[in-house]
Structure 1
Amino acid sequence: MLEESHFPINLNNFLYLRYPYHGKFSPEHLVFDANLQEFSQRVGYICNLETSGKLPPEEAYAQLKMLWKQLKRTKKELGIGGSPLE
């Protein structure tokens, strides 16, 4: 028989893992890191749905392309990554 856990699982934390930011701190970098982690999670979900046959390849590609454009726009709006010395 399975024992009940004394530490209930927070479903939100289980599904949407967040890792602490370890880079050079700035508010812009922190925001971009959060956006990048969300991008990564969503890419994983889309790929899994496509692999399992629940999402057509064309739709998966369209969604991934949209997510990539959003990430690029965010990077540009935050003004990060402009020079290699940054």
Structure 2
Amino acid sequence: MVNKDDFLYPRGRYYGQVKPENLVFNANLQEFAQRVSYVCNLETGGKISPDEAYEQIKGLWKQLKHTKKELKIGENPFQASDGDAEI
């Protein structure tokens, strides 16, 4: 039997560098994509206006950017986790 949450909120496997912050960001990124899809479908179906869809997606984007900043994703890409530069 399929769990309805697994059906409504599918998750893909993560194949990147396994670090806690990367896993958290990946989960947030997948949730962002799922929510954007819902907003797009609501707008396409005429349930919300294009302006409302835009504002909702803009808010979701800001949340994702905040998460990226808090997790320090992409900062010092050539820095090893122990503080030494990789060669």
- Common fold by TM > 0.5: yes
**Residue equivalent to 2:3:** 10
Alignment-derived partner of residue 51 in structure 1: 44
Q: Tell me, which stretches of 5 or more residues in structure 2 are unaligned?
A: 80-87
Number of paired residues? 79
CA RMSD between the two structures: 1.2
Q: Which of structure 1's runs of 4+ aligned residues deviate more than 6 A?
A: none
Q: 2:29 aligns with which of 17, 27, 36?
A: 36
Q: Equivalent pairs: percent with the same residue?
A: 62
What's the TM-score once normalised by structure 2's chain length? 0.85
TM-score (norm 1): 0.86
* Per-residue Cα deviation, 1:11-70 (whole angstroms, up to 9, x for no partner): 110010011111001000000000000000000000000011011111100000000000
Gaps of 5+ in 1: 1-7
Alignment of 1:60-75 (within 5 A): 60-75=53-68
